[in-house]
Amino acid sequence: MTDELTDELTEAVRGAARAVPPNAPDLEGVLRRHKRRRRRHALSAAAAALAVLLAGAAVVLREPAPTNPTLDPSPSPVTSTAAAAPGFQRLNLDFRSAQIAGDKTRSVGVQQPPGLLELAPDGRTILSVPLPDVVDDARNHILLPDGRTVLLGSKDLKPGTKRTDGVDVTDLEIRLVVLSPAGAVTLSRNVRIQGQDVGLVGATATEAYLSRPAGIVRHDLATGAEQPLSGAPADTFMIESGLALTLDVTTCQLGVHALATDILMTTLHLPTSSCGTFHQVRISPDGRLLATATWDPFSAAVPSVAVCRLADSRAAVYELAGRAGDPPGVLGLAWSGSTLRVAQAVLPPDANRMYPLAEVLKTRDIETGF
């Protein structure tokens, strides 16, 4: 199906930019490259694969009720972000995949602040960096440990001009952008090949990992040179901590591949009938642990986060704040050793309005013991 690019669509794109999809490793943006082969619900299986991971072996642990962090009730956008403290990974606040409880018909939910959102290392402060003018939106972005941000977004070169939309649309660039810790643009490069889709699935200090129709490539940030990434299967949706994640929708298997050795480390199995909804997924810096927010919309289970030790597939599921049957509202995850930080938007039981994020954001550090 084709659409006409109009002024209204251009404004919608800019509106989406203000809604900015952060990291998470942001899976939904990556899925665009799977669209012709898999339906959008393909994203669903991965988180569920961890939710009921190794069904008989998972242990459900009830954590104490979380405390509301003391957040600035109306945080002003800032133009700089600090690199994460040595302990915790930097933590994106990702509204796009959060599945927050609410009722749009009654205007009940959480107000999304503009810009690229991050939870500061103190676990309390919300940081926001404006989307740079070199792009109209953010398909995905990765927060690097050194404070920089790698971003993939589109730029309409002729806004308001009516054209046939699709992968062959003219006067459109897909730009790979690098932001300094202060939010300044240090790199803006068109990586679009007309007629092809492209996605950002990971990044390091020196290269970005892009998904192209032929497979995953490593893109040198300094030179723009690209080479196939042999250790990552073509259907990789996320690369972090030297690991590539794949999802087989037909069997609900989440594959964890080691980039350095080009081998499948482990496969996390889940009965197809139990595939739930994909939210957040995060790998620890040492590559030992994998966590994801989980929620089965067809059950009355409380929101939870599942953790798996990849070496032996030992798993545990930790209950979070929220009522049974509610979406988890997890905006981001971060690791420090075996401690998992969870940032969660939790509406009050009698929610009756749109709430500022700072009012409903809860942060919890879970010591997994793995």
Given a contact cutoff of 8 angstroms between Cβ atoms, the answer to whether 247 and 42 are in contact is yes
* Token pair in block for residue 307: 């953790």
The answer to whether the CB of 16 falls within 8 A of the CB of 241 is no
pLDDT (tens digit, 9 = 90+) per residue, 123-160?
Answer: 999 999 999 999 999 999 999 999 999 999 999 999 98
Check if the beta carbon of residue 102 is closer than 8 Å to that of residue 345: no
Give all domains of the chain, ordered by start, each with its CATH number: 7-367 (2.120.10)
Spans of the chain, pLDDT less than 50: 1-85, 270-274
Query: What pLDDT was estimated at residue 8?
Result: 39
Give the pLDDT of residue 166.
78
Instruction: State the pLDDT at residue 191.
Output: 98
pTM of the model: 0.77
- Residues counted in the chain: 370
**Residue 323, pLDDT score:** 78
pLDDT at position 253, please? 78
> Buried (b) or exposed (e) across 306-335, using 16+ Cβ within 10 A?
bbbbbeeeebbbbebbbeeebbbbbbbbbb
